[in-house]
A and B are shown apart, each in its own frame.
Chain A
Amino acid sequence: MIPTDPADRDALAAEYVLGTLDAAAAREVTQAMDADADLRGLVAAWEARLAPLSALAAPEAPPPGLWDRIEAALDGTRPVAAAPARRSAFWRNWALGASAVAAGLAAFLLLRPVPEPRLMTVLLTQGDQPAWLVEAEGGALRLASLNPQPVPDDRVMQLWALPQGATAPTSLGLIPAQQGSLTVTPSTIRPEPGMLMEITLEPPGGSPTGRPTGPILFIGRLAPARGT
């Protein structure tokens, strides 16, 4: 029964194109399309939407004699039906072709989103000594101290980011004293390759100007981690 509700009709057209209807329902849609121009249009729209997925099927050369066979069938000189012995061959090929099947079905895995390369850097001291490991994950930055250094009592460490092309660094907040690791999630910038990260020494409460005022203690540039 072809539904009358527009949403149901569209859903039926979609499943027809997707191929998930059973034999009886698919036949019903095929037959209804002859007289139902609206249904024909819905099906055509779904075919157009999903057609690019066909590209996931691995191209394969047909047997050399296939065109001759098709032409003979078109001329009605040979029966169109398949040879009766096919069924056993079907199953035999199934047993033998497991790896080919696996390769074919693996196509669907492709559509999982490609993980973004992990960005990281090591912030170095002015003497090029590693001080902080910075890793970006999603929009967050994880910092781990590699070589904790005391900070003067009347000073704090402030973290900054300078995306490529930006003219002024953005404050990502203060780094709590004595803390070996922390995660910050910047709200206005997103970690990106080439972004400069630095930690400066600032008065209590952080830079009063919104820009670094003290010396740069540690600096590094985010880059995609190798081997991930």
Chain B
Amino acid sequence: MDAGASLADLLTAAAAGDRAALRAVYQAQSVRLFGIANAILRDRDLSSDAMQDAFIRIAQRAHQFDASRGTPEAWLGAIVRHAALDIIRARGREIATDDPNLGDEPVAPEAEDRLAATAEGRRLRECLQGLEARNRDGIVLAFVHGLSHPQIAERLGTPLGTVKSWIRRGLLALKECLA
């Protein structure tokens, strides 16, 4: 594959068993994808395991990528997220969430720049900002950092049942806002 091949083209080639194409996907996306895994696992060894699991799935399922349903970046990101979530679930989500330092670090402004870099990101951000803060926080903690309902409840100091219904309501509101 030439260097200018699009990610979608690379996936098509990888689906046909082209190892060089799969490697090109890795080279183009591994820094972003490793970051997605590490935001959930916060452990470089485990994140490497997640990447390995994910790329085996990517090799097996590249033919399932459907450009009409989303971007290749989103498809790859979802596979890596689910690989990382599988690992964290297998470990019973042992990650402590009561660390007093959590959330006290200065906010990295570049994270917001990354979200605002795409039209979809800006739109999602606007819709998230329309939610109540606790709904928004719950959704982001779950999606980006892989926190479970009980962990979110603990982080936000809220009863578990309440968190579950907030998140469900928040997702519904997001769907309506994005429609």
Chain A positions within 8 Å of B, measured between CB atoms, are 10-11, 14-15, 17-20, 22-23, 26, 41, 44-45, 47-63, 66-67, 69-71, 73-74, 80, 82, 86, 89-91, 93-94, 97-113
Chain A, Cβ-Cβ closest to B127: A49
Which residues of the other chain, B, contact A18 by a CB distance below 8 angstroms? Answer: 139, 142-143, 167, 171
B39 in contact with A57 (CB, 8 Å):
yes
B175 in contact with A99 (CB, 8 Å):
no
Known: A55-B111, A67-B26, A69-B48. A108 touches B42 (CB 8 A): no
The interface centre, meaning the residue of B53, B117, B142, B171 with most chain A CB atoms within 10 A of its CB, is: B171
B22 CB, min distance to chain A CBs, angstroms: 8
Chain B, Cβ-Cβ closest to A54: B77
Complex partner residue of B42 from A26, A44, A104, CB under 8 angstroms: A104
A55 in contact with B31 (CB, 8 Å):
no
Chain B positions within 8 Å of A, measured between CB atoms, are 19, 22-23, 26-27, 30-32, 34-36, 38-40, 42-49, 51-53, 55-56, 59, 66, 69-71, 73-75, 77-78, 81-82, 85-86, 89-91, 94-96, 99, 101-108, 111-112, 114-115, 117-118, 120-121, 123-125, 128-129, 133, 136-137, 139-146, 148-149, 152, 167-168, 171-172, 174-175, 178
- State the main secondary structure of chain A at its contact with B: helix
A51 in contact with B140 (CB, 8 Å):
no
Which residues of the other chain, A, contact B145 by a CB distance below 8 angstroms? Answer: 104-105, 107-108
A57 in contact with B35 (CB, 8 Å):
yes
A60 in contact with B38 (CB, 8 Å):
yes
13 sampled A-B residue pairs with Cβ under 8 A: A14-B175, A26-B89, A44-B69, A50-B143, A55-B118, A60-B35, A62-B30, A73-B56, A74-B55, A86-B49, A101-B42, A110-B107, A113-B129
A81 CB, min distance to chain B CBs, angstroms: 8
Which residues of the other chain, A, contact B36 by a CB distance below 8 angstroms? Answer: 54, 57
A47 in contact with B74 (CB, 8 Å):
yes
Which residues of the other chain, A, contact B144 by a CB distance below 8 angstroms? Answer: 53-54, 56-57, 107-108
- Bound together, the chains give a CA A47 to CA B120 distance in angstroms of 12
Known: A74-B56, A98-B101. A66 touches B30 (CB 8 A): yes
A106 in contact with B106 (CB, 8 Å):
yes
A51 in contact with B35 (CB, 8 Å):
no
- Bound together, the chains give a CA A47 to CA B124 distance in angstroms of 12
Which residues of the other chain, A, contact B146 by a CB distance below 8 angstroms? Answer: 19
A51 in contact with B39 (CB, 8 Å):
no
Which residues of the other chain, B, contact A54 by a CB distance below 8 angstroms? Answer: 32, 36, 74, 77, 81, 143-144
B136 in contact with A106 (CB, 8 Å):
no
